[in-house]
Structure 1
Amino acid sequence: MATVTRKFRDDFDAWAADRIARGQFTEAEMAEFKDMLRRDLAPGPDQLREGQTIILAAGVEMPATIDDHEERYRLWADFFAAEAQAIKRIKAGEVR
């Protein structure tokens, strides 16, 4: 299982609590998401996006896999950090 930093965990928990409170996830769905995230953060090749492709603006198709688990971690950490910050700003009344 992947080990995450306290900040990652706190940001994820803030995001998860917000999504459950909004009704976008049930507790069971969030548990499934968390299991998927653990698998995605584990070292080794990207099994979540295996066989998927993306098409760049130039029309070039390329694999969607991210085989570097540290890069996958960084992308998830950045996402949850941005989301947690937005949630804090909304709760503080900075954003309507």
Structure 2
Amino acid sequence: MDQQMRPFRDEVKDIILSILRTMLTNESDVNVTYTAGSRTTVYKVECHPDDYGVLLGKNGRNIEGLRRVTMAMTTRFGSRGIIELPDIPKDEFFND
């Protein structure tokens, strides 16, 4: 079954990548990889640290929207898609 799902997973990855490159300033630094399980695919998003704020959006709205779109695409094929973000060091991003 994994080989049957590979083209679909690649297509979802490409769609996520396209959306992110449209949203973010440093589009050449955007990368999406995935790890496939039997029923769940984890899409790992990496971007330039300067783009974290845009990626997350106000109150997490941007990343939540992207996660919902991903879930809608993957549910159609009886699968589950999760977007994972890199660890964002608090001292680099948040000004306390």
TM over 0.5: no
Q: TM-score, normalised by structure 1?
A: 0.32
Q: Say which structure, 1 or 2, has more relative contact order (CA 8 Å, 6+ apart).
A: 1
Structure having the larger proportion of residues in strand: 2
Considering only CA atoms, is the larger Rg found in Structure 1 or Structure 2?
A: 1
Q: TM-score, normalised by structure 2?
A: 0.32
